[in-house]
Amino acid sequence: MAKKTTNQTENNLGKVYISASFNNTLVTVCNTSGEVVSWSSSGAVGFKGTRKSTPFAATSAIESVVKKAKDKGIEEVEIYVKGPGPGRDAALRAVKASGVKIALIADVTPIPHNGPRPKKKRRA
């Protein structure tokens, strides 16, 4: 059985960036050099208004993106999830169900170390 070269392995590896806000879920698949292979969102799939923020809409967006990425040869992915939206968990389940191998799942949600400046003290 022939071994895979590094070029084949790198071409098969992709990175999935999921940005889950309270209003929408954005999904982007990139290759190892950072070029976008495919992207979609709950709105681009056809959901409007409050239905964009549902887990089902996120699942639909993921399915369309992963299908395009598979056609371009991506077999293994690293997943980076950002944001607190309802599409987070549903998106991860959809990637797992799509058949691509998951190498890494990371939460890259930005968290402030100290937050904004507090309000002035109330005067008596």
Contact 76, 13 (CB under 8 A): yes
* Closest alpha carbon to 63 in 107, 100, 23, 37: 100
pLDDT digits (tens, 9 = 90+) for 30-67: 998 989 999 999 999 999 999 999 999 999 999 999 99
Question: Model pTM?
Answer: 0.83
Question: The tokens of 59 are what?
Answer: 């699942």
Mean pLDDT of 95-99: 91
* Closest alpha carbon to 80 in 102, 105, 63, 103: 105
How far is residue 85 from each of residues 13, 89, 102, measured CA to CA in Å?
A: 26, 9, 21
Would you say how long the chain is, in residues? 124
Domains of the chain: 13-107 (3.30.420.80)
Percent of the chain with pLDDT over 90: 74
Question: The tokens of 84 are what?
Answer: 């607190």
Contact 102, 96 (CB under 8 A): yes
